A = this chain, B = another copy of it.
Amino acid sequence: MISPTETETAFDPNADRLREECGVFGIYGHADAAALTALGLHALQHRGQEAAGIVSFDGTRFHSERRLGLVGDAFSEASVIDKLKGKQAIGHVRYSTTGETILRNVQPLFAELHGGGFALAHNGNLTNGLTLRRNLVRDGAIYQSTSDTEVLLHLVARSRKQNFVDRFVEGIRQIEGAYAFVGMTNKKLIGARDPLGIRPLVLGELDGCPILTSETCALDIIGAKFIREVENGEVLIVSESGIESHKPFPPIAERPCIFEYIYFARPDSIVKGRSIYERRKAMGAVLAQESPANADVVVPVPDSGVPAALGYAQASGIPFELGIIRNHYVGRTFIEPTQKVRELGVKLKHSANRSVVEGKSIVLVDDSIVRGTTSFKIVKMMREAGAREVHFRISSPPITHPDYYGIDTPDREKLLAATHSLEEMRQFVGADSLAFISVDGLYRAMGHERRDPLRPQFTDHCFTGDYPTSLTDVIGESAKQQISLLAEAG
């Protein structure tokens, strides 16, 4: 068992987190379409901080603005919004990676098809995207990006159907994986969710104008009304004649990704009538029942561990205290200038609140362990602040398998739980005790009696290895193969 290295993630304060691909937003028929889209994207900023884009249509031309950085940086100037003319707009936020970020991959993508323009924003990941890409290139398609999303543009462009909806449906019938699409033509706003409903998409309304977006918090920020969730396998077509629902796939029970509840969605978003905050508190409460601890205080790893920690504290009666202070001014990276400084093992994002921790037995609550390096450092920081005992409690089960549906997980061998026993993990992070919520406990917190092994209510492949779709690219050839021959020099 190797010992955790300090250096690897020392200065990218988000390196040891799961990250989702995106958030999407679209609105139809509103005079302030682009401004509302910018606000909606701002509310979805937690789903992606790398880049943001908006495409609008003004009745004649499409207008596009795609930028690296936060929504508030890219779209706060009136001059930018003013250029995005028109009553229809769709937008996209994208998660943060290092090195590979290139402007040509920032969404919404846009193509001029025979019949008119088509803009597309995608949350999710296709599991046969590379295979389709190779086939399309063989047939003469030229790609502008390395994004799997572009596959759908080419499939729609090449469809021989007359009707746009038929072309779109012909396109999505060829793709596999997880997707919540928001698209736009010169006449329509389109929403589509994969057959299992892995990624979220909701329908809302403001001033009579339909809205499609990833989470209800993007409706709340603009005072829009929540109508309903888009169903798994449903295609919604919004046009002047109203909203049509299409169901191009055979009916099948939904299996939304359980990580949206554990980690990705904003606490105030509502899914299936219950807030994410409540679900997370319930996970903490189940965890307190399953794995109690004899401790003086419950300390959350902020911010993501706070609701589960509150749930744990309320269920256990142990006081909740802010034993770790988060520095909210941490940007994407903070490069460590010198080796000497690196060795100090400084904590840019978190600092111990010594007065809470010193001399205490603490229950430390976080939502997940990925590589374990951050957990190691936080436990160490608690001990250095004087914690007598550290009982580490995790409000998700051990992550043993990578995701292929839009969550950026490390390779399997880098997942701590894939290669370590529970006791080895405890030793690795350096806690006095370590416990994860059980899979059935997680389902209980979600309001089910337990996981139905025959038809699981969620997709929980990261914990169980039970992938809900075929993984064509993974099995066929290496997903790691180089997609592009072009190394961006800029």
Q: Is the CB of A81 within 8 A of B337?
A: yes
A422 adjacent to chain B (CB < 8 Å): no
Q: Map CB proximity to B onto A76-95 as digits: 1 under 8 Å, 0 otherwise.
A: 11101111100000000000
Q: Map CB proximity to B onto A111-143 as digits: 1 under 8 Å, 0 otherwise.
A: 111101100000000000000000001111111
A142-B144, A223-B346 given; A334·B72 CB < 8 A: yes
Q: How many residues of A contact B (CB 8 A)?
A: 106
Closest to A36 in B: B341
Q: Which residues of B contact A70 (CB under 8 A)?
A: 329, 331
Q: Is the CB of B310 within 8 A of A322?
A: yes
A277-B356, A329-B46, A348-B221 given; A157·B144 CB < 8 A: no
* Residue from A63, A111, A482 having most chain B Cβ neighbours under 10 A: A111
Q: Is the CB of A45 within 8 A of B341?
A: no
With A and B bound together, what is the CA distance between A413 and B221 in angstroms? Answer: 32
Q: Which residues of B contact A320 (CB under 8 A)?
A: 310, 320
With A and B bound together, what is the CA distance between A320 and B138 in angstroms? Answer: 60
Q: Which residues of B contact A76 (CB under 8 A)?
A: 331, 333-335
Q: Is the CB of B117 within 8 A of A142?
A: no
Q: Which residues of B contact A331 (CB under 8 A)?
A: 70, 72-73, 76
Each complex incorporates copies of this chain amounting to 4
Q: Is the CB of B113 within 8 A of A351?
A: no
A42-B334, A112-B137, A333-B76 given; A267·B306 CB < 8 A: no
Q: Which residues of B contact A49 (CB under 8 A)?
A: 329
With A and B bound together, what is the CA distance between A485 and B114 in angstroms? Answer: 11
Q: Is the CB of B43 within 8 A of A327?
A: yes
With A and B bound together, what is the CA distance between A82 and B277 in angstroms? Answer: 45
A354 adjacent to chain B (CB < 8 Å): yes
Q: Is the CB of B355 within 8 A of A278?
A: yes
Closest to A381 in B: B220
Question: A5: shortest Cβ distance to chain B, in Å?
Answer: 18
Which A residues form the contact surface with B (CB < 8 A)? 31-32, 34-36, 38-39, 42-43, 45-46, 49, 61-66, 70-73, 76-78, 80-84, 110-114, 116-117, 137-144, 153-154, 157-159, 186, 217, 220-223, 266-268, 270, 274-275, 277-278, 303, 306-307, 310, 314, 319-322, 325, 327-331, 333-338, 340-341, 344-348, 351-356, 482, 484-490
